[in-house]
Chains A and B, each alone.
Chain A
């Protein structure tokens, strides 16, 4: 253990990458699954070890190849990304058992080993973005995760999956290219790509060439907003989530956008924020307005959606709005709310998409009109859906309430009491779209088409129940969500200029 301990940060990337290579060599879906499961269950152990180490001993800096920063690539773990690492790897570990049956049903046998290969590559990319302290390295990992994501989406059975994947590829590549233009400007201004080094040098650049710094900030913001589906740059998301294989949707909705949000927070609060007075720029107001638009418009669209997966996808756009609202508020409670909602939304949305994956596994459709009475046939699955749905609304006693509580506190701190009303009002729209599904699932007589349906096998049911239970658990015990998020937010806000 002592020999491995100093190398934990890089193992976060190396293990899934090697796993992906091996999975590519395997031809059988079952062995690919076994490998992916082993890797996915190992990752949270490393992530938790790192987070504990960081919380007690401060940031860890790992020099790749022994080259000291700022010349070499540095992997830097602090409380912020340790927190995200634990989230991403835990979602992978909890979700993995679900994938076995779901992938076996939805993909052809020859595609299955490749699917696990792509999943592990995507995990590599996501953990890499989180762990790296190098701006260009983050771009490479961003594209590793995105390229594997495009493949995972295109493997959906519906031919529209191909089209969604293509559209995502175009939008995602534009986003990544905008990001890299922004990094190029930063590099020209500071001569450095190391994030810590940049933050130390950007102040001088701001004094001599403020407009170039603003251009860099704008390019990074737009690029990352495309990837994280900030309204109105979200158009790729609903179709991609709706037509992708069930497990792809579960994994992406819980991790991919969250990791990009992390990167945006990293840029705002530890790079730009510490060297320039970031709150004096109109950017926080712009983010708040776009977040509000997401919360209302995307929620309203969700109300009229007939395909439940698409409805949940629009709800994701709205929920991302809550997270970015926390970023835009840029005060202690608001940022805590945003950070804690990254975790809470990941858990509840994974539970919701998983229950729909289970329904698809049993019934073969997720159209609302075909799901009449499904709650009576698949009671445990739909009970989990109901619990997570309440979380989405933000009912007290669920984790969603904790997020919204902190966001409302943040709005008060800024003196924007009207924002509190808007947060509550947008939650009421969530009542409508979640309520629609619940009404159809529980109140109606089961149709003959679903007469054969029953709760899915345990490998699917256990992850669903675990995640739904987490939604309730984190509504009461917030030490590991709001507690850690509060500490992180305090450090971030305290570092702002």
Chain B
């Protein structure tokens, strides 16, 4: 199997990895605190995909006991990721609340300006 076929056959993983790297890059590269949180969210979301993709089996149905079907998709990753989504939402909410408080205290949400203001005071 050529490299191209491997990549195309796993295009969903390629997208996941792209989102993962893009999210992490935004967190590192952006100086704006809200944008950092957006990057963090993208990074976390890519992990949801990483869990859910392998659970899907081609031709599999929903996991309901029925003599007519014998191939099921794995439901466990969905349950795990429901929990992870809750954690992700809580993190984002807390992060945004902190940014709002930082904006009140410093009058800006750009990291460079905040460091400058702390150095002045």
Binding site for B on A (CB under 8 A): 136, 139-140, 143, 147, 150-151, 154, 159-160, 162-163, 165-166, 169-170, 173-174, 176-177, 180-181, 184, 187-188, 193
Contact = CB atoms under 8 A, between A and B. Distances in A.
A235 to B, nearest CB: 13
B25 to A, nearest CB: 12
A173 B88 CA distance: 9
B44 to A, nearest CB: 6
Contacts of A150: 94, 98
A166 B40 contact: no
Contacts of A151: 94
Give the dominant DSSP class at B's interface: helix
B40 A154 contact: no
Contact of B105 (A162, A174, A176, A187): A162
Interface in B1-38: 24, 27, 33, 36-37
Contacts of A174: 24, 27, 40, 43
Nearest to A153: B98
B91 A166 contact: no
Contacts of A165: 98
Contacts of B71: none
Contact of B118 (A147, A160, A173, A193): A160
Contact of A147 (B43, B54, B80, B94): B94
B114 A163 contact: yes
B54 A188 contact: yes
Interface of B: 24, 27, 33, 36-37, 40, 43-44, 47, 50-51, 54, 77, 80, 83-84, 87, 90-91, 94-95, 98-99, 101-102, 105-106, 114, 118
A352 to B, nearest CB: 26
B72 to A, nearest CB: 14
A138 to B, nearest CB: 12
Contact of B40 (A159, A170, A184): A170
A140 B87 contact: yes
Given A140-B87, A181-B50, A166 B98 contact: yes
Given A184-B50, A193-B80, 6 more contacts: A136-B80, A143-B87, A163-B106, A169-B91, A173-B44, A174-B43
Contacts of A163: 102, 106, 114, 118
Nearest to A136: B80
Contacts of A159: 102, 105-106
Nearest to A143: B87
B94 A162 contact: no
A348 to B, nearest CB: 31
Contact of B98 (A162, A180, A188, A193): A162
B98 A184 contact: no
Contacts of B94: 147, 150-151, 169
A143 B91 contact: yes
A13 B40 CA distance: 29
Nearest to A176: B87
Contacts of A136: 80, 83
